[in-house]
């Protein structure tokens, strides 16, 4: 319940700003604790529910660190942290930093009827990180208890921990060569992969993000609804603001999902200057806004409207900018960027104060020769990609072909990356680590495809998803986008992938479809097949599937690889059934 005397933390204070030039997260919090800024939590109606200044957070974290030692945990032990958007997450996360433990933020459940799926996922994650303790919000402790299969030193809430005795131990915070946290990332539910991020890597990345990517300055204030278990939410909006002593206003992801317009209310209300979202966040606001909102919104303070986490379509953002222009939103605030957890978070940022810059290239050259040739012909023969900027200072991007040879500018290939923000590997998973890192561990293969032009990066797709038909490279996103433009189909409803066929591989397009009437369904599938054929010159197999049935990665992106695997398994199962029956 909101308390009347509560007021949000200040935006400005006298403490001189330092942009993440610390050697560890605990040192960064020590410094932030000297100022007056801090964290503010809001409910779904934009009412303040909890406030903490960094100074108070630090004091609480130190107590947590001692009590964690009291549980008998050893240095470097993993502490699983089911990460709702609340204050106790912060206390335990930073408590781990001061105590020399490794926090592992894990997702919360979402969606109707997701109990079993969630417990299964949690089991896999707890096993993978070999956690010695699990912290969860009170309502989620039962899920943790269900999922735990190994002996644990503690399963419960932060509040329960606070009732434990506090031993007088000499704290030795996590050092710069030690692991700061594990980040679980996209990967199948059965084989999750934990990215190991050292203090050195996270501090290098935070400095790049705050100083070079965002150009953080005194007077900035962050607003975020991104989940704390996601790299963009954790590094971008928990650690980044703390390491640059900024106040943050948080709303929970579920509250955003229910009332997306409250995100914009929060920015208006608190004069937020920095806030990020994946493209769908901007899209849903554009769709849901009401005329009466326009009077209340004032988005003129929003200096950096970051976009990341999924392929960026310029159209979605232009619609947002046009819709909200009269609330003071400046389309130059858009800041496309590229990143991944394997490089802590941020890899490249577009130039600030320029907005979305795109490159229009010849689709034929792209498909046949993997070349990005500028093009001013008709739309049907063009592909447009968004400029995601140059690599952060100290980092190097290189585009390579399949044999590992570096490619020149405007040649499309694998995006590889070198620099101080790279992970040390996947946690206790040598095989997965070797698959993406060079033997010396200095280069990372991001798994994405793209090209460089004037040193700036354009993402064209995910390599493992690439559809190659008759020697042509076809980007699944393009087919998906075409399907998503049909009435009643939304972004995220479509997955396209390639399966082996008798004569040649076949393109499968799975569409989450809400049409009930069998005749209408048939008609829809046929017309979509025709449309794709006319656009891409290939006959695909359109499969209508129920809503929510397409697999997603933990960050919510459609998982083409998983969809493909399931589809092939299904075909094989069907085959053996009919053989057995025949």
Retrieve residue 517's tokens.
């009437």
**Residue 4 burial by CB count (10 A; 0-12/13-18/19+): exposed, middle or buried?**
exposed
Retrieve residue 350's tokens.
């577009």
State in angstroms the smallest separation of the CB of 481 from other proteins: 19
Q: Which DSSP category does 139 fall into? A: G
Query: Which stretch, 102-110, 241-249, 351-359, 363-371, contacts other proteins (CB under 8 A)?
Result: 102-110
Is position 455 an interface residue for other proteins (rule: CB under 8 A)?
no
Q: Considering only residues 469-508, where is the footprint of other proteins by CB under 8 A?
A: 490
**Judged by CB under 8 A, which of 115, 296, 326, 428 binds other proteins?**
115
State in angstroms the smallest separation of the CB of 138 from other proteins: 10
State in angstroms the smallest separation of the CB of 113 from other proteins: 4
| Three state DSSP letters for 93-120 | HHHHHHHCCEEEEECCCCCCCCHHHHHH
Q: Do the beta carbons of residue 52 and residue 7 sit within 8 Å?
A: no
> How far does CA 227 lie from the centroid of its chain?
9
CA distance 213 to 581: 61
Instruction: Using alpha carbons, select from 546, 32, 444, 374 the residue that is nearest to residue 197.
Output: 444
For tokens 């390491």, the residue is 243
State in angstroms the smallest separation of the CB of 373 from other proteins: 39
Which CB, 108 or 307, lies closer to other proteins? Answer: 108
Is position 114 an interface residue for other proteins (rule: CB under 8 A)?
yes
CA distance 56 to 63: 11
Q: Which DSSP category does 16 fall into? A: P
Q: Do the beta carbons of residue 467 and residue 473 sit within 8 Å?
A: yes
Instruction: Using alpha carbons, select from 299, 395, 408 the residue that is nearest to residue 338.
Output: 395
Which CB, 6 or 575, lies closer to other proteins? Answer: 6
State in angstroms the smallest separation of the CB of 521 from other proteins: 12
Is position 516 an interface residue for other proteins (rule: CB under 8 A)?
yes
Retrieve residue 380's tokens.
């049907």
Render 235-250 in DSSP notation, one character per residue. IIIIIHHHHTT--EEE
Is position 547 an interface residue for other proteins (rule: CB under 8 A)?
yes
Instruction: Using alpha carbons, select from 124, 65, 127 the residue that is nearest to residue 98.
Output: 65
231: Cβ–Cβ under 8 A, 6 or more apart, which residues? 183, 185, 339, 340, 341, 344, 345, 555
Q: Which DSSP category does 409 fall into? A: T
Angle, helices 314-324 vs 279-288, to 10°: value is 40
State in angstroms the smallest separation of the CB of 77 from other proteins: 26
Which CB, 254 or 424, lies closer to other proteins? Answer: 254
Which CB, 111 or 537, lies closer to other proteins? Answer: 111
State in angstroms the smallest separation of the CB of 85 from other proteins: 11
CA distance 537 to 527: 14
Is position 347 an interface residue for other proteins (rule: CB under 8 A)?
no
State in angstroms the smallest separation of the CB of 516 from other proteins: 6
**Judged by CB under 8 A, which of 97, 512, 554, 555 binds other proteins?**
512
Q: Do the beta carbons of residue 461 and residue 479 sit within 8 Å?
A: no
Is position 523 an interface residue for other proteins (rule: CB under 8 A)?
no
State in angstroms the smallest separation of the CB of 125 from other proteins: 16
Query: Which stretch, 189-197, 330-338, 357-365, 514-522, contacts other proteins (CB under 8 A)?
Result: 514-522
**Judged by CB under 8 A, which of 159, 368, 428, 514 binds other proteins?**
514
Which CB, 159 or 514, lies closer to other proteins? Answer: 514
**Judged by CB under 8 A, which of 4, 14, 112, 580 binds other proteins?**
112
Q: Do the beta carbons of residue 254 and residue 42 sit within 8 Å?
A: no
Which CB, 102 or 147, lies closer to other proteins? Answer: 147
Residue count, binding to other proteins (CB under 8 A): 28
Retrieve residue 44's tokens.
């779904």
CA distance 528 to 522: 10
Instruction: Using alpha carbons, select from 363, 279, 352 the residue that is nearest to residue 321.
Output: 279
| CA terminus-to-terminus distance, the chain | 65
Query: Which stretch, 156-164, 407-415, 421-429, 511-519, contacts other proteins (CB under 8 A)?
Result: 511-519
CA distance 308 to 388: 9
Which CB, 254 or 358, lies closer to other proteins? Answer: 254
Which CB, 75 or 159, lies closer to other proteins? Answer: 159
Retrieve residue 97's tokens.
């930093």
Which CB, 257 or 373, lies closer to other proteins? Answer: 257
Is position 140 an interface residue for other proteins (rule: CB under 8 A)?
yes
**Judged by CB under 8 A, which of 89, 101, 118, 443 binds other proteins?**
118
Query: Which stretch, 136-144, 146-154, 425-433, 448-456, contacts other proteins (CB under 8 A)?
Result: 136-144
Instruction: Using alpha carbons, select from 259, 240, 218, 398 the residue that is nearest to residue 306.
Output: 240
Q: Considering only residues 223-262, where is the footprint of other proteins by CB under 8 A?
A: 254, 257-259
Is position 522 an interface residue for other proteins (rule: CB under 8 A)?
no
Is position 575 an interface residue for other proteins (rule: CB under 8 A)?
no
**Judged by CB under 8 A, which of 111, 167, 404, 455 binds other proteins?**
111
Contact footprint for other proteins (CB under 8 A): 43-44, 108-115, 118, 137, 139-140, 143, 254, 257-259, 284, 490, 512, 514, 516-517, 546-548
């Amino acid at each position: 319940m909101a308390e009347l005397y509560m007021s949000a933390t200040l935006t400005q204070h006298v403490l001189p700003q330092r942009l993440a030039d610390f050697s560890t997260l605990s040192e960064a919090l020590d410094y932030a604790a000297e100022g007056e800024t801090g964290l503010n939590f809001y409910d779904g109606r934009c009412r303040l529910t909890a406030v903490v200044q960094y100074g108070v957070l630090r004091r609480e974290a130190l107590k947590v660190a001692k009590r964690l030692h009291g549980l008998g945990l050893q240095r470097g032990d993993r502490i699983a942290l089911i990460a709702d958007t609340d204050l106790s997450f912060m206390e335990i996360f930073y408590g781990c930093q001061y105590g020399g433990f490794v926090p592992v933020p894990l997702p919360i459940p979402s969606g109707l009827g997701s109990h079993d799926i969630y417990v299964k996922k949690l089991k896999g994650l707890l096993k993978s990180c070999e956690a010695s303790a699990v912290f969860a919000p009170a309502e989620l402790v039962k899920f943790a208890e269900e999922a735990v299969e190994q002996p644990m030193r503690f399963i419960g809430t932060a509040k329960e921990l606070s009732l434990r005795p506090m031993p007088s131990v000499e704290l030795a915070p996590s050092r710069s060569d030690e692991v700061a946290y594990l980040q679980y990332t996209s990967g199948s539910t059965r084989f999750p992969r934990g990215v190991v991020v050292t203090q050195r890597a996270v501090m290098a990345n935070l400095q790049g993000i705050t100083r070079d990517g965002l150009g953080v300055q005194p007077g900035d204030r962050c607003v975020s609804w991104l989940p704390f278990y996601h790299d963009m939410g954790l590094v971008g909006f928990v650690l980044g603001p703390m390491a640059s002593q900024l106040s943050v206003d948080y709303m929970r992801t579920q509250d955003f999902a229910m009332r997306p317009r409250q995100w914009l209310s929060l920015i208006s209300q608190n004069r937020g200057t920095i806030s990020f979202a994946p493209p769908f966040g901007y899209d849903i606001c554009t769709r849901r806004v009401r005329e009466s909102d326009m009077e209340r919104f004032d988005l003129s303070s929003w200096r950096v409207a970051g976009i990341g986490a999924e392929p960026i379509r310029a159209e979605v953002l232009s619609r947002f900018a046009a819709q909200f222009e009269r609330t003071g939103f400046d389309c130059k605030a858009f800041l496309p960027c590229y990143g991944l957890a394997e490089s802590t978070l941020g890899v490249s940022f577009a130039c600030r104060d320029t907005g979305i810059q795109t490159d229009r290239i010849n689709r034929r050259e792209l498909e046949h020769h993997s070349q990005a040739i500028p093009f001013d012909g008709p739309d049907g023969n063009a592909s447009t990609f968004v400029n995601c900027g140059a690599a952060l200072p100290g980092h190097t991007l290189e585009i390579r072909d399949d044999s590992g040879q570096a490619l020149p500018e405007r040649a499309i290939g694998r995006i590889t990356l070198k620099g101080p923000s790279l992970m040390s590997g996947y946690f206790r998973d040598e095989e997965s680590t070797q698959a993406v890192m060079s033997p010396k561990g200095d280069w990372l293969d991001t798994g994405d495809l793209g090209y460089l032009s004037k040193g700036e990066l354009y993402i064209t797709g995910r390599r493992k998803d690439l559809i190659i038909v008759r020697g042509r490279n076809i980007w699944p996103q393009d087919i998906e986008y075409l399907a998503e433009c049909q009435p009643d189909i939304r972004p995220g409803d479509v997955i396209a992938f390639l399966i082996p066929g008798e004569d040649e591989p076949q393109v499968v397009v799975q569409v989450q479809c809400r049409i009930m009437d069998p005749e209408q369904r048939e008609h829809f599938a046929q017309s979509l097949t025709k449309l794709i054929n006319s656009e891409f010159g290939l006959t695909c197999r359109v499969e209508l599937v129920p809503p929510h049935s397409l697999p997603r990665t933990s960050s919510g992106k459609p998982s083409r690889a998983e969809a493909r695997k399931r589809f092939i398994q299904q075909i094989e199962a069907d085959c053996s059934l009919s053989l057995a029956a025949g």
